[in-house]
């Protein structure tokens, strides 16, 4: 599995802590990690609004399989990511959230609070969240006897979102082009995206934005 981590400006200083825990867990499970957001306060500036654009491009192009995002409360990142088709983001404050989201909702992104509640032992909580999110088979339901209905409802919800959304690229073209250009302007995002993108139309769109 390819996992992208992205931090926005208000919590950029937490990136090294979160990245270390994610890389340690991913290495144990044989996953790859791409640090595509901000890595420090002086890095390419992104807000949680940009994180939604970045996550949607990476997931819809299949450049990555999963996105870990966040902001001060995690709520802005959650709403931003879930604004796009092809992204199913859950809110996660503890390991039980990560496990239940993986089993019941079986989504492809998490939004974590990187300021609220991020105190003593925070790195341990983050590590345990990643262990529950990325260990074992997902989509098995919880409790097990409700698996069938949970899998069905998760699929229905994804279908509702797809039906009520514009096509992915039409949606991106309808928002402020400067937002998109800033979102894709990071060097680490570009390397991850262009090295792993599996959708020629989305790749062409990003190249066009960068050339504008």
Which pLDDT score, from 0 to 100, does residue 7 have?
A: 97
Q: Which fold has domain 2-211?
A: Ribose 5-phosphate Isomerase B; Chain: A, (3.40.1400)
Query: Are 186 and 44 within 8 A, CB to CB?
Result: yes
Two tokens, residue 10: 């208000």
pLDDT tens column, 3-21: 999 999 999 999 999 999 9
**HSE-CB for 198 with a 13 A CA cutoff:** 6
Which pLDDT score, from 0 to 100, does residue 136 have?
A: 84
Which pLDDT score, from 0 to 100, does residue 151 have?
A: 87
Spans of the chain, pLDDT less than 50: none
Burial state string for 136-145 with b = 16 or more CB within 10 A and e = fewer than 16: eebeebeeee
Which pLDDT score, from 0 to 100, does residue 145 have?
A: 85
């Amino acid at each position: 599995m390819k996992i992208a981590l992205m931090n926005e400006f208000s919590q950029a200083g937490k990136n090294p802590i979160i990245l270390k825990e994610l890389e340690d867990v991913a290495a144990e499970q044989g996953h790859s990690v791409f640090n595509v957001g901000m890595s420090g306060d002086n890095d390419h500036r992104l807000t949680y609004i940009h994180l939604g654009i970045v996550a949607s491009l990476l997931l819809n192009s299949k450049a990555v399989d999963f996105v870990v995002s966040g902001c001060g409360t995690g709520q802005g990142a959650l709403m931003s990511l879930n604004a796009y088709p092809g992204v199913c983001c859950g809110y996660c404050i503890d390991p039980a959230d990560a496990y239940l989201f993986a089993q019941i909702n079986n989504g492809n992104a998490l939004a974590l609070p990187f300021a609220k509640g991020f105190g003593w032992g925070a790195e341990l909580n983050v590590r345990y969240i990643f262990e529950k999110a990325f260990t074992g088979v997902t989509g098995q339901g919880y409790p097990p006897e409700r698996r069938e209905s949970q899998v069905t409802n998760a699929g229905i919800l994804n279908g509702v979102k797809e039906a009520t959304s514009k096509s992915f690229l039409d949606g991106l073209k309808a928002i402020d082009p400067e937002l998109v250009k800033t979102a894709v302007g990071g060097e680490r995002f570009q390397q991850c995206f262009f090295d792993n993108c599996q959708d020629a139309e989305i790749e062409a769109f990003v190249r066009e934005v960068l050339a504008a």
